[in-house]
Amino acid sequence: MRPNKIKAIIFDFDGVIAESVNVKTEAFSKMYAKYGSDIAKKVVEHHLSHGGISRFEKFKFYHKEYFGIELTNQQLQKLANQFSELVVQKVIAAPYVPGALEFIQNNYKYYDLFISSGTPEDEIIEIMTEKKIDIYFNSIHGSPGEKTDHVKNIISQKDYGKDEIIFIGDADTDILAAKENDIPIVLRVHPYSNCNCDYNNLIKIENLINLVDVLTISGNN
- Range with the poorest average pLDDT among 6-10, 19-23, 122-126, 198-202: 198-202
In sequence order, the 6+-apart residues with CB closer than 8 A to the CB of 154 are 8, 10, 114, 116, 139, 141, 160, 165
pLDDT above 60: residue 221:
no
User: Nearest 5°: CA angle at 143, between 202 and 47?
Assistant: 60
Query: pLDDT tens, 118-161?
Result: 999 999 999 999 999 999 999 999 999 999 999 999 999 899 99
pLDDT above 70: residue 197:
no
pLDDT above 60: residue 65:
yes
Q: Per residue, what are the HEC states of the chain?
A: CCCCCCCEEEECCECCCECCHHHHHHHHHHHHHHHCHHHHHHHHHHHHHCCCCCHHHHHHHHHHHHHCCCCCHHHHHHHHHHHHHHHHHHHHHCCECCCHHHHHHHHCCCCEEEEEEEEEHHHHHHHHHHCCCHHHCCEEEEECCCHHHHHHHHHHHHCCCCCCEEEEECCHHHHHHHHHCCCCEEEECCCCCCCCCCCCCCEEECCCCCHHHHHHHHHCC
Question: What is the structure's pLDDT at 209?
Answer: 96
| Domain 8-19+97-219 superfamily per CATH | HAD superfamily/HAD-like (3.40.50.1000)
Distances (CA, A) of 63 to 56, 205, 214: 11, 35, 41
More confident residue, 201 or 128: 128
Question: What is the structure's pLDDT at 1?
Answer: 53
Q: Mean pLDDT over residues 111-119, rounded? A: 96
pLDDT above 70: residue 200:
no
Q: Mean pLDDT over residues 84-98, rounded? A: 97
Question: What is the structure's pLDDT at 51?
Answer: 78
Question: What is the structure's pLDDT at 220?
Answer: 55
Query: What ranges do the domains of the chain cover?
Result: 8-19+97-219, 21-93
